[in-house]
Amino acid sequence: MITPIIDEKAIERLRAMINGVQRIAITCHKSPDGDALGSTLALCHVLRRLGKEAVVVTPDMAPKSLEFVPGVRDLIVFTKHEQRARLALSEAQLIFCLDFNSMKRIDRLNEIVEPLKTKRVLIDHHLDPEDSFEVMISHPEASSTCELVFRVLMQMGLLRFVDRMAASCLYVGMLTDTGGFAYSCDNPEFYEIIASLVRRRFDRIMLYNKAMNTFSADSLRLQGYAINEKMQLFPAQGAALITLSKEELERYHYNRGDTETLVNKPLAIPEIYWSVFLREDADKIKVSCRSQGDFSVSDICARYFNGGGHENAAGGDFTGSLDDAVNVFHQILKDLFPDIEQSKQ
């Protein structure tokens, strides 16, 4: 039995809103991951099957590693097709905001969306959502936005429109946002939803391999280099730090997505329960944090790195040099563990 956890009033309003419109745009956060792409593409697919003119508009491109997700080729990508993105959002009668909690997470798309009067619907599982949506379906306890899209469709009585393609998309998001069913999936109902998706008979093993275990040779070598030569451990504070400079990334012909799971790797070490990865991008330092147990990295990202996310997986942006960001990391160690002398392994 899958409990109807979503407020029935929100479901009713959503039903009325969808019934009353024809053109719908769906968007997600910049640097879309498996959950952002899976949830938007699944919802788009179902809405199209309902006869709606639905499109997915993303702030930037999907990484190469997620090009296998069904429907990725149909995305309207702002950084590639700015005019089409502008038109799709301006003409939409309803805008879905999936897998983010604050409008700044859609980057420059917000310049288009913010001035519009169009009604917005949030479906998301990040902590502390902003109050800028007509309908807010926010459940931080959920594994993923894909799980929430399934639950919304279930409560709306639309599961018959979840076909093999939509099921594949939802499966990818639930798989990747839980690190391969490792964390944020304690609720037994999570597996009931997976069971319901698997009944749609998509190629589960192919999707698992593509989503969890496919890397280019360059990406694998970059990760090997990062772990071998760049991982610093602070066992007394349970911490690990990996940094990669622009020059190091270029040496391994870095493509977006190549370091997606790197930040998780130090957590394999028994003494390490939180891990920070700092990557030097063109105009900022991208911060990724992961933790185990009740150590909240979303608090750390919010306080030090202008970001947020979930208790055990969070991120942010840092303006400044890589060295400055490393200094912030050392400051965090000092602030959180004032009595421990800083020494690394």
266 binds ligand 5GP (CB under 6 A): no
Applying CB under 6 A, among 60, 307, 312, 332 the residue interacting with ligand 5GP is 307
34-73 residues in contact with Mn ion (CB under 5 A) are 35
Which CB, 98 or 231, lies closer to Mn ion? 98
Contact region with ligand 5GP (CB under 6 A), list: 160-168, 217-225, 307-315, 328-336: 307-315
Of these, 315, 318, 325, 329, which contacts ligand 5GP (CB under 6 A)? 315
Residues with Cβ within 8 Å of residue 68, at least 6 apart in sequence: 207, 210, 211
Q: Determine the Cα–Cα distance for residues 341 and 333; give it in Å rounded to an integer.
A: 9
By residue count, the chain amounts to 345
Please report how close the Cβ of residue 130 comes to Mn ion at its closest, in angstroms: 16
The site partner of 124 among Mn ion, ligand 5GP, none (C-beta below 5 to 8 Å per kind) is none
Q: Are strands 308-309 and 313-318 parallel, antiparallel or unpaired?
A: antiparallel
In whole angstroms, what is the distance from residue 214 CA to residue 229 CA?
Answer: 23
Site for Mn ion, residues 151 to 180, rule: CB under 5 A: 177
Structure tokens at 170: 């939802």
Rounded to a whole number of angstroms, the minimum distance from the CB of residue 229 to ligand 5GP is 21
Single residue of 172, 308, 318, 329 touching ligand 5GP by CB under 6 A: 308
Among 231, 314, 325, 332, binds ligand 5GP (CB under 6 A): 314
> Does residue number 58 form part of the binding site for ligand 5GP (CB under 6 A)?
no
Report the residue number whose CB is nearest to ligand 5GP. 315
Per-residue x/- track, 100-139, ligand 5GP (CB under 6 A): ----------------------------------------
- Given the complex with ligand 5GP, which of 147 and 162 has the nearer CB atom? 147
CB of 117 to ligand 5GP, least distance (A): 26
Smallest gap, in angstroms, from Cβ of residue 301 to ligand 5GP? Answer: 7
**21 to 50: interface string for ligand 5GP, x by CB under 6 A:** --------x---x-----------------
- Gap between the Cα atoms of 169 and 286, Å rounded: 26
- CA–centroid distance for 233 within its chain: 26
Query: Using the rule CB under 6 A, is 309 a contact of ligand 5GP?
Result: yes
User: Which of 103, 95, 77, 73 has the alpha carbon at shortest distance from 24?
Assistant: 95
Closest CA to 329 of 295, 289, 293, 296: 289
Query: By C-beta, is 179 or 235 nearer to ligand 5GP?
Result: 179
Residue 99 sits in the site that holds Mn ion (CB under 5 A): yes
Name which position in 87, 230, 317, 344 contacts ligand 5GP (CB under 6 A).
317
For ligand 5GP, the closer of residues 33 and 60 by Cβ is 33
Residue 309: CB minimum distance to ligand 5GP, A = 3
Q: What does the alpha-carbon distance between residue 52 and residue 96 come to, in Å, rounded to a whole number?
A: 13
**Which residues bind to ligand 5GP, rule: CB under 6 A?**
29, 33, 288, 307-310, 313-317
**Which residues bind to Mn ion, rule: CB under 5 A?**
35, 99, 145, 177
